[in-house]
Chain A
Amino acid sequence: MTTIDKFEFPDELYYTKEHIWARVEGNVATIGISQFGAELAGEIVYVEIPMVGREVKQGEPFMSMESGKWVGRVKAPISGKIVEANEEIEWESTLVNEDPYGQGWLAKIEMADASQLDSVLRADSKEFAAMIAADREKYDK
């Protein structure tokens, strides 16, 4: 586990610059928003989950969430097909803030090309630490 101040980042996950994490099991990536990303979002009041079967492209928005009348989009960390979406969070969106790496997961993507994850950061890398430091300064966190 990498810890930066009060924020935790499990080392086994991949992280995008938009603070989306991916956990790889076989050819499926479970994705969610990092604890830091959830803190930036504030109290999430609604999550629009994607349709199962939908094709998504790395870096393109495919679902959305709302906090404080603010709508933000979630960009896919990897291309592929949605094979499962967390229906729980549509009714209980606070799970995303409270348990971002567990019950607050967003969706599962059957990866089209796992090598795309090579371009996504790991928590124990220098680039990741630099990115978090820059964003903490930018967002006063």
Chain B
Amino acid sequence: MKLYHLKHVPWLDSQLLYHAMPRVGLEGILILAPAEPYVCIGFHQDLMQDVDVAYCQEHDIPIFRREVGGGAVYLDGNQIFYQIVVHKDNPIAHGDKARFYERLLQPVAEAYDDLGVPARYRPINDIITTAGRKISGNGAATIGDYVILVGNLIADFDYESMAHVLRVPDEKFRDKIFKSMRQNLTTLKRETGRMPEWDEMTKPLLARFEKVLGPLEPAALPHAVREKAKALKPLFLSEEWLHKKGRRRPGRDVKIAAGVNVIQRLHKAPGGLLRATIEVKGDRLTSVSLSGDFFAYPEEAISKLESALSGASLEQVESIATDFYGHGGIETPGVTTEDWLKVLVG
């Protein structure tokens, strides 16, 4: 397979080139990083719901909608990207989606091992450290007759910018996203205590990929790919494409890593509006913050409910909320256990 090892490229090329390759009928692997930071949103996302567009404009951060799934991400030159494009008839693309991800992400996990960070592939498309922290983001798409996998080796990650570019209901939610990312997403720098060099990262990555993809033959990117990328530019930068109708959901749900979400739900109960900002890890509420314009007596009752819910499984929520009222002395007029279930479990 041809290897297009491009290193740092203009931010737009870091997306357009792999979108161009299937359109000119070319297989290959691109290794690159964007020279400038930008925000990249998933194919089915809703720009205005998911991204703080005003913040991005204010800070000259471009936004791109990819044809690959997943959520909004802040990308920069400290993340090295592998973009693999194979024809659907290539044996590498065979097997179901889980097999395809496993086949191509196992080498990435092994490359992290080589770099001194023990990691493993976790279905369906994650790579995690032994502590369970995500250390690589991956997505895929079928474009025409080609299957594409894109993902990254993360040398360092700008958690603060990532938390800022997302549209959030309030600053408390943003803070929760930031903390949850710091807790659940890690980098080579954080794990090893130093910033790895480009070659140091790509050498083991390519060696590991070669075992699956066969010999990787360094090549200059064909002119046709650059021309197609240029031709795609107006479409991908058009307002219509960026603002394409996306998946709209009530409330706000930001996926931090597989099985880890920071969610805000609102529910209008007869006694007032309830707002729950929660972090859910697997089937557990790892953090709970409740607010709204309802009346609660005594005032500290809600803090007690928050404490009782933190760490509880979703299945336990109903009994905890029932117990909350069961001991007597707590009044929330017009707000019942059922209302809490609506904001906490959905």
Chain B residues touching A, majority SS: loop
Report how far A138 CA is from B96 CA in the complex, Å.
8
Min CB–CB distance A97 → chain B (angstroms): 13
Is there an interface contact between A71 and B94, defined as CB atoms closer than 8 Å?
A: no
Give Cα A41 to B140, complex, Å: 12
> Quick one: given A42-B124, A48-B245, A66-B43, are A71 and B67 in contact (CB under 8 Å)?
yes
Q: Are A69 and B69 interface neighbours, CB within 8 A?
A: yes
Known A-B contacts A42-B97, A42-B98, A140-B96; A70 and B139 likewise in contact (beta carbons under 8 Å): yes
Most buried by B among A46, A66, A68: A68
Measured CB to CB, the nearest residue on chain B to A48 is B44
Count of residues in B whose CB is under 8 Å from the partner chain: 24
Q: Which residue of B has the minimal Cβ distance to A90?
A: B247
Closest-CB distance, A102 to chain B (whole angstroms): 23
Contact B43 A71 (CB under 8 A): yes
B142 beta carbon closer than 8 Å to chain A? yes
Nearest residue (CB) in B for A138 is B94
Chain A residues closer than 8 Å to B101, beta-carbon distance: 68
Query: A42-B98, A139-B94, A140-B95 are known contacts. Are A70 and B44 too (CB-CB below 8 A)?
Result: no
Which B71-115 residues have a C-beta within 8 angstroms of A?
Answer: 94-99, 101
Docked Cα-Cα span, A139 to B98, in Å, equals 10
> Is A57 close to B, CB under 8 A?
no
B125 on interface, CB distance cutoff 8 Å? yes
Interface flag for B309 (CB, 8 Å): no
> Separation in Å of the A105 CB from the closest CB of chain B?
20
A67 within 8 A of B: yes
Contact present for A64 and B44 (CB under 8 Å): yes
A141 within 8 A of B: yes
B96: which of A40, A69, A71, A73 is its contact (CB, 8 Å)?
A40
- A72 on interface, CB distance cutoff 8 Å: yes
Question: What chain A residues lie within 8 Å of B263 (beta carbons)?
Answer: none
Cα–Cα distance between A64 and B70 once the two chains are bound (Å)? 14
Task: Report B217-247 residues with CB < 8 Å from chain A CB.
Answer: 245-247
Instruction: Indicate whether B68 reaches chain A with its CB closer than 8 angstroms.
Output: yes
In the bound complex, what is the Cα–Cα distance between A71 and B245 (angstroms)?
A: 15
B95 and A139 contact, CB distance less than 8 A? yes
On chain B, the residues within 8 Å of A90 by CB distance are 247
Task: A68 to B140: give the CA distance in the assembly, Å.
Answer: 8
B201 at the interface (CB under 8 A from A): no
Bound-complex Cα distance A40 to B97 (A): 7
Known: A42-B124, A46-B247, A48-B245. A71 touches B44 (CB 8 A): yes
Instruction: Name the CB-closest residue of B to A141.
Output: B96
Contact A67 B97 (CB under 8 A): yes
Closest approach, in angstroms, between the C-beta of B138 and any C-beta of chain A?
7
Would you give the 0/1 interface string for A95-112, flagging 1 where the beta carbon is closer than 8 Å to chain B?
Answer: 000000000000000000
Task: Take A40-B96, A141-B96 as given contacts and tell me if A71 and B124 are in contact as well, using a CB distance cutoff of 8 Å.
Answer: no
User: What string of 1s and 0s marks CB contacts (under 8 Å) between A11-43 and chain B?
Assistant: 000000000000000000000000000001110
**What is the minimal beta-carbon distance from A54 to any residue of chain B, in angstroms?**
13
Residue with the greatest number of chain B CB neighbours at <10 A, chosen from A40, A46, A71, A138: A71
Across-interface contacts of A68 in B (CB, < 8 A): 69, 97-98, 101, 124-125, 140
Bound-state Cα–Cα, A70 to B143, Å: 11
Shortest CB-to-CB span from A85 to chain B, Å, is: 12
Q: Closest residue to A61 on the B side, CB-wise?
A: B144
Nearest-Cβ distance from residue B279 to partner chain A, whole angstroms: 20
Give Cα distance in the complex from A138 to B93, angstroms.
9
B44 touches A42 (CB 8 A): no
Does any Cβ of A come within 8 Å of B61's Cβ?
no
Mark contacts of A77-88 with chain B using CB atoms, 8 A cut-off: 1 yes-contact digit, 0 otherwise.
000000000000
Indicate if B314 sits at the interface (CB-CB under 8 A).
no
Interface positions of A (Cβ within 8 A of B): 40-42, 46, 48, 64, 66-73, 90, 138-141
A selection of 28 A-B contacts at a CB cut-off of 8 Å is A40-B97, A41-B97, A42-B97, A42-B98, A46-B247, A48-B247, A66-B42, A66-B44, A67-B97, A68-B125, A69-B42, A69-B69, A69-B124, A69-B138, A69-B139, A69-B140, A70-B69, A70-B97, A70-B139, A70-B142, A71-B140, A72-B141, A72-B142, A73-B142, A138-B95, A140-B95, A140-B96, A140-B99
Chain B interface residues toward A at CB < 8 A: 42-44, 67-70, 94-99, 101, 124-125, 138-142, 245-247
Instruction: Knowing that A69-B70, A73-B142, A139-B95 touch, tell me 7 more A-B residue pairs with CB under 8 angstroms.
Output: A41-B97, A42-B124, A66-B43, A69-B42, A69-B139, A72-B142, A138-B94
